[in-house]
Amino acid sequence: YGDYNQKIDYVFKVVLIGDSAVGKTQLLARFARNEFSLDSKATIGVEFQTKTLIIDNKIIKAQIWDTAGQERYRAVTSAYYRGAVGAMLVYDMTKRQSFDHMVKWLEELRGHADQNIVIMLIGNKCDLGSLRAVPMEDAEELAQRENLFFMETSALESTNVETCFLTILTEIY
Ligand code: GTP
């Protein structure tokens, strides 16, 4: 998309949040660069990547922010959420605790982000289906109650990764 640099119609900031090791960094790596790493290290502070795409004939630059799930590595929270128009709340579908913590992450999000932010709940690692610890119904119920979009993904197998980013970006647009 190099030729389009001058003509970007919108820049959308989307933040990734959720417990450590649920796969936030790998979801972003898969979406932005079509890469995946099995020995992904914990994120320290904040990183972001951009990807330019076309939605509805408009050139949209998605700026996706990734932060540490571990408290001790987290950067200043309000700066992270500033200007965000979308949020992806990620849990690991093989780790019940990471799903139970979604209410805590939602609380933080609602306390810091814009009221109109579009939120998607993501159950990652669906390639590990036999280890499932979070029934789809539980996630759907939470999504319905809190007015979130919901999808299960696999950064490893590329399942729904593109779709979930496109869905949130289209909804923002
Ligand atoms: P923090 O940076 O500590 O917040 O963690 P994170 O949420 O960014 O997790 P990260 O992307 O670093 O992934 C943690 C581990 O899960 C790594 O070993 C990844 O390779 C693995 N992982 C990520 N996504 C998937 C997936 O879809 N399937 C499987 N099987 N493993 C995954």
pTM: 0.94
What is the residue type of 164? Answer: C
Using pLDDT thresholds of 50, 70 and 90, give the confidence band for residue 73: confident
Q: By C-alpha distance, which of 118, 121, 117 is closest to 140?
A: 121
The pLDDT of residue 41 is: 87
Give me ligand 1 centre to Cα 92, in Å.
Answer: 9
DSSP string for 47-75: EEEEEEEEETTEEEEEEEEEE-SSGGG--
Provide residues with CB under 6 Å of ligand 1: 20-26, 37-38, 40, 42-43, 68-70, 124-125, 127-128, 154-156
Using pLDDT thresholds of 50, 70 and 90, give the confidence band for residue 72: confident
Mutate to test the pocket of ligand 1, among 16, 17, 19, 25 (most ligand atoms within 8 A of CB): 25
Per-residue pLDDT of 98-110, as tens digits, reads: 999 999 999 999 9
